[in-house]
C-alpha cells in the first residue's frame, strides 16, 4: 500500500509541474513581442510571397497564413461552388435536430508530421474553408517551428466560434481529436468548440466500398466527382517535405503541400454538394444516377438510414431489373425487403440470385437457398418446397466439405442445415398423412 501511495504522490507532483509550466508559458505569451514580430517579418523569405503566404501575428505570437478566395461560379470537377447553398439543407439529415446552411459549415483538413492522434503528431498546416460574402474562402495556416503552434491554434479557435458544423473526411476519428489534443497540449483546454460533425468518409464507404477500388478522397474525387489532379504532391509526402523545410529553411517545396491541401478543401466542398443533393432528392438534376446495381442498392440503403425513403424505391427497382446485377447485390436488396416485410420481392430476389448463379452455385446461391427454405417452411408451410431448397443448400455445402472441416462456423451451419432437413422431412411426412 505504501508503494502505491508514493507512486500516486509522484504522479500528482508531475501533474502539478506540467500545469505550472503551461501557466508560465501562457503568462509569457500574453503580450506579443512586437519587435520580434517585426524582425520575423523582415526575414520572411520572398519565396513565401510568391505563393501567397503572409506573416500573421496575434497576442500569442506569429505564424504563416495563405488565403484564397474563390467565386461561387468556380467549378471543381462536376460541381460549381454555388451549389453548396442549395445542397446544404439536405445535410441536416446528419443531425435531424438542426437545419444546415452553407454559411454554418466549416471545412477542415490537416497536414501533419505523422499518423495517429498522440502527443508526437503535430498539425504543421491547418486548412479551413467556408462560405463568406458570396465567396468560398480557403485559409491555410502553417507553423515554421513548434513555438508558433499556440498562436496558430488561437487563431483557429477564434474562427471555430463562427460555425456550427464541421465537415471533414475521417475528421471525426482523426482531424478533430488531433486538434483537440493540440489545444490541450498548448494549455487552451479541450472544450474550445463542440461541432456537429459532417464526416463524409462514412457515407463514402457505405456507398462505394465495393464499387471503387479505394475510398481515399483522391480516388473518390476522380471516380465520382470528375476531379483530376495534375502534378499533385501526395499527402503521404507532406511530412517529408515539411521536415526538409525545417532542415534547410527553403520553403519552395511546401508550395506543393499548400496546393494539395487546397484541392482537398475544394473536394470536401464538392462532396458536401454531392451528398446534400442526394439527400435533397435532387438526383439526375445535379448528379448522375449510379451505373452499377450494387451502388444503386448501397445508395438507397444509405438514404433510408438517413431518413429518406422516396428515392431509394426508384434505385432498388433499377437494381432489381438491371441485367448485370450480381447475386450478392440481389441478396443485399432481398435482406432489406425481408426486414421491411416485402416478402414478394424478397422471394423474387432470392430466386433471381440462384438463377444468376446457375453456372456456378456460389455462396450467394447457397444463402438464397437457405432463405427460401425458411420462407417456405415458416411463411407458406410448404414443406416440400422448403425441403428442396434445403437439400440444394446442403449439397452445395457438402461440395465444399474440405473448407467446412477447417471452419468451425461453417461446420455449425452444416449441422443446422442437417437438422433443418430432418425436421422438414418429418413435417412433410405428417402433412402427407
CA of 392: how far to CAs of 168, 348, 381, 431, in Å? 48, 17, 18, 21
Does residue 8 fall inside a structural domain?
no
Q: For the chain, what is the domain count?
A: 2
Q: What is the sign of the dihedral through the CA atoms of 401, 403, 408 and 414?
A: negative
Does residue 327 fall inside a structural domain?
yes
**Cβ atoms 168, 197 nearer than 8 A:** yes
Ramachandran angles phi, psi of 426, nearest 5°: -65, -45
Does residue 9 fall inside a structural domain?
no
**Cβ atoms 293, 274 nearer than 8 A:** no
Does residue 287 fall inside a structural domain?
no
Q: What is the sign of the dihedral through the CA atoms of 319, 308, 130 and 176?
A: negative
- Cell matching residue 198: 459532417
Q: Classify 265 as helix, strand or coil.
A: helix
Does residue 16 fall inside a structural domain?
no
Residues making up the chain, counted from first to last: 433
- Cell matching residue 102: 452553407
Does residue 271 fall inside a structural domain?
yes
Q: Are 201 and 266 contained in the same domain?
A: yes
What pLDDT is recorded for position 411? 78
**Cβ atoms 102, 167 nearer than 8 A:** no
What pLDDT is recorded for position 30? 40
Q: Are 272 and 326 contained in the same domain?
A: no
Does residue 238 fall inside a structural domain?
yes
Does residue 37 fall inside a structural domain?
no
What pLDDT is recorded for position 55? 96
- The predicted model scores a pTM of 0.84
Q: Are 55 and 120 contained in the same domain?
A: yes
What pLDDT is recorded for position 350? 95
Q: Which domain holds residue 351?
A: 296-432
Using CA atoms, how far apart are residues 23 and 153, in angstroms rounded to an integer? 16
Q: Could you say which of 247, 280, 313 is where a domain stops? A: 280
**Cβ atoms 50, 257 nearer than 8 A:** no
What pLDDT is recorded for position 433? 60
Listed residue (425, 337, 354, 336) closest to 393, CA to CA: 354
Q: Residue 329 contacts by C-beta under 8 Å, 6 or more apart in sequence?
A: 293, 294, 297, 319
- Cell matching residue 229: 489532379
Name the DSSP letter for residue 231.
S
Q: Are 186 and 226 contained in the same domain?
A: yes
- How many CB atoms sit inside 10 A of residue 374's CB? 15
pLDDT tens figures, 339-360: 999 999 999 999 999 988 766 6
Using CA atoms, how far apart are residues 172 and 202, in angstroms rounded to an integer? 10
What pLDDT is recorded for position 356? 83
What CATH number is attached to the domain comprising 313? 1.25.40.10
* Spans of the chain, pLDDT less than 50: 1-2, 4, 7-42, 402
Q: Are 374 and 304 contained in the same domain?
A: yes
**Cβ atoms 230, 263 nearer than 8 A:** no
Q: Are 234 and 345 contained in the same domain?
A: no
Distance of CA 62 to the CA centre of its chain: 33
Q: Are 191 and 61 contained in the same domain?
A: yes
What CATH number is attached to the domain comprising 258? 3.30.420.10
Question: Taking the C-alpha atoms of 166, 233, 230 and 77 in order, what is their torsion angle to the nearest 10 degrees?
Answer: -10
Q: Are 217 and 301 contained in the same domain?
A: no
What pLDDT is recorded for position 358? 65
Amino acid at each position: 500500500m505504501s508503494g502505491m501511495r508514493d507512486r500516486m504522490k509522484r504522479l500528482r507532483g508531475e501533474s502539478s509541474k506540467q500545469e505550472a509550466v503551461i501557466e508560465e508559458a501562457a503568462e509569457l505569451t500574453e503580450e506579443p513581442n512586437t519587435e520580434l514580430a517585426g524582425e520575423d517579418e523582415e526575414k520572411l523569405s520572398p519565396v513565401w510571397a510568391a505563393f501567397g503566404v503572409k506573416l500573421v501575428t496575434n497576442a500569442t505570437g506569429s505564424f504563416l497564413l495563405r488565403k484564397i478566395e474563390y467565386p461561387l461560379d468556380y467549378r471543381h470537377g462536376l460541381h460549381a461552388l454555388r451549389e453548396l447553398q442549395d445542397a446544404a439543407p439536405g445535410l441536416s439529415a446528419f443531425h435531424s435536430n438542426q437545419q444546415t446552411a452553407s454559411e454554418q459549415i466549416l471545412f477542415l483538413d490537416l497536414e501533419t508530421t505523422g499518423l495517429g492522434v498522440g502527443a508526437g503528431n503535430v498539425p504543421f498546416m491547418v486548412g479551413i474553408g467556408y462560405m463568406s460574402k458570396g465567396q468560398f474562402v480557403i485559409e491555410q495556416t502553417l507553423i515554421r517551428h513548434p513555438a508558433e503552434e499556440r498562436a496558430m491554434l488561437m487563431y483557429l479557435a477564434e474562427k471555430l466560434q463562427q460555425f456550427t458544423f464541421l465537415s471533414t473526411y475521417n475528421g471525426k476519428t482523426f482531424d478533430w481529436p488531433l486538434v483537440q489534443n493540440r489545444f490541450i497540449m498548448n494549455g487552451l483546454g479541450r472544450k474550445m468548440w463542440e461541432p456537429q460533425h459532417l464526416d463524409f468518409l462514412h457515407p463514402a464507404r457505405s456507398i462505394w466500398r465495393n464499387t471503387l477500388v479505394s475510398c481515399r478522397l483522391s480516388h473518390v474525387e476522380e471516380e465520382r466527382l470528375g476531379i483530376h489532379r495534375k502534378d499533385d504532391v501526395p499527402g503521404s509526402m507532406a511530412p517529408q517535405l515539411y521536415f526538409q523545410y525545417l532542415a534547410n529553411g527553403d520553403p519552395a517545396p511546401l508550395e506543393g503541400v499548400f496546393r494539395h491541401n487546397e484541392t482537398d478543401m475544394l473536394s470536401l466542398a464538392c462532396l458536401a454538394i454531392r451528398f446534400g443533393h442526394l439527400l435533397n432528392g435532387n438526383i439526375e438534376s445535379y448528379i448522375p444516377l449510379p451505373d452499377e446495381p450494387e451502388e444503386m442498392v448501397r445508395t438507397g440503403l444509405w438514404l433510408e438510414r438517413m431518413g429518406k425513403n422516396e428515392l431509394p424505391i426508384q434505385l432498388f427497382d433499377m437494381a432489381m431489373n438491371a441485367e448485370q446485377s450480381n447475386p450478392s447485390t440481389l441478396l443485399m436488396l432481398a435482406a432489406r425487403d425481408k426486414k421491411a416485410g416485402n416478402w414478394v420481392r424478397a422471394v423474387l430476389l432470392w430466386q433471381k440470385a440462384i438463377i444468376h448463379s446457375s453456372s456456378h452455385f456460389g455462396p450467394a446461391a447457397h444463402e438464397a437457398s437457405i432463405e427460401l427454405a425458411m420462407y417456405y417452411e415458416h411463411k407458406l408451410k410448404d414443406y416440400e418446397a422448403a425441403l428442396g431448397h434445403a437439400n440444394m443448400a446442403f449439397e452445395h455445402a457438402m461440395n465444399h466439405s474440405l473448407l467446412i472441416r477447417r471452419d468451425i462456423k461453417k461446420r455449425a451451419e452444416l449441422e443446422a442445415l442437417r437438422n433443418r432437413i430432418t425436421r422438414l422431412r418429418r413435417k412433410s411426412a405428417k402433412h402427407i398423412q
